[in-house]
Amino acid sequence: MKFSQDEALFDLLRMAVDDDCSPRFFTRKLNDEEWRSLRSMCHKQQISAVVYRAVSHLPAEQQPPSKLMFQWAVEAEIVKGHNGLLNAEASRLTQLFEAQGRKTAVLKGPANARLYPDPNMRQAGDIDLWVEGGRDSVIALLKQMGYQLFEKDLLSAHHVQLRPEGDVSVEIHYKPSSKNWSPFSSARLMRYLEEKIQNVERLPEGFNIPSMTFALAMQLSHIQHHFLMDGIGLKQIIDYFILLKHATEENRREINAKLSSLGLLRFAGALMWILERIFGLDASKMICSPNQKLGKKMLDEIFVGGNFGMYCKSSKSKHWAVLWLWRRYHIIRKFWFSPVEILGCELNYWFGFIKSIWIRIKFRRLSLWYLKNTK
């Protein structure tokens, strides 16, 4: 069988998310070079531990060479250990804020990992912890609790980045999600999420999670935002497949009714096509009809850029003018995924540019990127 890296990866992903991890999904026999290429792709997409679950269940004659298998196993163990650290820290923070009388919820990360066939196979990033009370109240509480916050930690409109303690990075969210660029759909999205996040469930792991309908709406919005601005990887695609796998018909029906008003319909269609293409997601499990045209373009973007677009070569230039041109082009060329969002993004950018003209004149700099990165 002719080697196709994409198809081999898709087969292994289907196997990895199968509860029984059945080898029936993978009938190929790859050579050493093909396995190395495949593992490199997994690393780029931050799904090494996910795919290792499948690889470790293959018959011996189909597995990678022993040296590569050992390296892969070590990487999977590191991911497992980090998941344990995140769960422990999420539990500790939950108790800490509860002692202050605040409701909390883990928005992604550990909340998603628990739904995987093996909760330790998801490569964890940081902890996104929502704390009730709103921006001013949450920031005041953090200072009262002894957290040192600097001005640049407070720049985000929806979260505060805490100083890392050990190997765990934590974002404290005073809003349940980042906004859309369109002020109209953004207002509806925030109202919906603020209402839904009041319903939290306590897990045996010691932290709270929001409802499934909240997760489906918030994470779809989060994925769309990152795709339009930077890029996304297969890690986020797998997360959403896992959510849909555990969602009820009622959950899907509710989200379907909200997609258009929340500014997520076209992007959701592209995502559904990708989930059908990779995992064979049944139409009955989808939240809208798949959009093949947009889905193909989106999948191409995922393979080119890797996780959060970090491997896109065009973004590596050091010259601010090249970076600026690439950034504008990178965003505008995704217009048809969400026309209103892209228009809102560009209007917001140019409004901010005009407001900051006096700063550019003061420092005699056309680009503020240089100032931000030389302080």
> Which CATH number do you get for residue 183?
3.30.460
Does some domain include residue 12?
yes
| pTM recorded for the entire structure | 0.90
The total of structural domains in the chain comes to 4
* Tens of pLDDT, residues 278-332: 999 999 999 999 999 999 999 999 998 666 555 555 555 566 677 777 777 778 8
State the pLDDT at residue 163.
78
Is the domain of 111 the same as that of 147? yes
Per-residue confidence (pLDDT) for residue 153, from 0 to 100? 72
Lowest mean pLDDT among 58-67, 108-117, 169-178, 321-330: 321-330
Residue 144, number of CB atoms within 10 A of its CB: 9
Residue 360 has pLDDT above 50, yes or no: yes
Q: Please indicate, yes or no, whether residues 127 and 202 belong to a single structural domain of this protein.
A: yes
- Buried b or exposed e, range 169-181, using 16+ CB within 10 angstroms: bbbbbbbbbbbbb
Check whether residue 128 and residue 17 sit in a common domain. Answer: no
Shared domain for 121 and 17, answered yes or no, is no
Q: Is the pLDDT of residue 128 over 50?
A: yes
What pLDDT, on a 0 to 100 scale, did the predictor assign at position 329? Answer: 78
> Are 204 and 85 contained in the same domain?
yes
| Residue that is last in its domain, among 210, 226, 243 | 210
Q: What angle do CA 335, 290, 331 make, to 5 degrees?
A: 15
232: CB partners within 8 A, 6+ apart: 223, 226, 301, 302, 305, 307, 308, 309
Percent of the chain with pLDDT over 90: 71
Average pLDDT value over all residues in the chain: 90
Residue 69, domain member (yes or no): no
Q: Supply the pLDDT for residue 361.
A: 73
Reported confidence tier of residue 268, pLDDT bands at 50, 70, 90: very high
Is residue 242 domain-shared with residue 337, that is, in the same domain?
Answer: no
Task: Report the alpha-carbon distance of residue 324 to residue 335 in Å, rounded.
Answer: 18
pLDDT tens for 131-170 read 999 999 999 999 999 998 877 777 778 899 887 777 789 9
Confidence of residue 371 (pLDDT cuts 50, 70, 90): very low
Domain around 268 = 217-311
Q: Find out whether 314 and 330 touch, Cβ atoms under 8 Å.
A: yes
